[in-house]
Structure 1
Amino acid sequence: MFTHIIRGEGRRITYQNAGVDCAFVAALSTGFCNWRIDFTYADTSNKIYRTSRGRTHSECKIDPMRNNHPQTLPRYGRACAHLHVNGVRRVSQCHHITK
């Protein structure tokens, strides 16, 4: 299960984390190899204005995870987390950032 957690109020993000919460059967033996987690931010027109690209990890992990720094977004819209494995986006989860 891929999870994306955001804490804060309005456009202010005080905590953000994304990762695999519990590994499913296919990942139990080797895990996720060559993985990275990216965070993207889009406005209310769905135009991405910021991307925080994560580092690619060559090791295999059952529970990849990444935190992102606190920040204040310039616009309302949505914040998303994306898990990439071997350069391919495998799953995403988004939150709407509203007043």
Structure 2
Amino acid sequence: MKVPTGCMFTHIIRGEGKTITYQNAGVDCGFVGALNAGFCNWRIDFTYADTDNKTYRTSRGKTHTECKINPMRDHAPQKLPRYGKACAQIYVNGVRRAGQCHHITK
């Protein structure tokens, strides 16, 4: 399953080294995509993995029962214990629809 045509899943991350100062993920829809009924029973999770691709932390988002065209979630600033990657995924009705990762390197 994918995000509907006309929509894209975005993951924004700011910081330096292992320090994340800002993180946000959500769906942006335009044109035809903005006409759909939205995403119902959605949640956005943030996960963190080391350089061996082993996930060491997951921040599971709240499941939202309302339908939204532009679901979004912010995550608190933090200091990661290791280098690797930070990812965000959107789930709709418990099924992963899309994800995006950023590599965290020296």
TM-score bucket (shorter structure)? over 0.9
Distance 1:5 1:43, change over 3 A: same
Cα deviation, 1:61-90, whole Å, max 9, x if unaligned, reads 000000000000000000000000000000
In structure 1, the residue matched to 2:104 is 97
2:94 is the alignment partner of 1:53: no
Q: Tell me by how many angstroms 1:28 deviates.
A: 2.3
Question: Which of the numbers 72, 76, 79 marks the counterpart of 1:72?
Answer: 79
Q: 2:101 corresponds to which letter in structure 1? A: C
Cα RMSD over matched residues? Answer: 1.3
Deviates most, 76-85 or 23-32 = 23-32
Distance 1:52 1:14, change over 3 A: same
| Secondary structure at the counterpart of residue 62 of structure 2 | coil
Question: Which of the numbers 74, 78, 90 marks the counterpart of 1:83?
Answer: 90
In structure 2, the residue matched to 1:32 is 39
Q: 1:70 corresponds to which letter in structure 2? A: P
Q: Tell me by how many angstroms 1:21 deviates.
A: 1.7
Which stretches in structure 2 are left out of the alignment for 5+ residues?
1-7
Q: 1:65 corresponds to which letter in structure 2? A: M
Cα deviation, 1:2-61, whole Å, max 9, x if unaligned, reads 000000000000000000022573562310000000000000000000000000000000
After TM superposition, the structure 1 = structure 2 runs for residues 5-44 of structure 1, keeping only pairs within 5 Å, are 5-23=12-30, 25=32, 28-44=35-51
| Secondary structure at the counterpart of residue 25 of structure 1 | helix
TM-score, reference length from structure 2: 0.89
Deviates most, 38-47 or 16-25 = 16-25
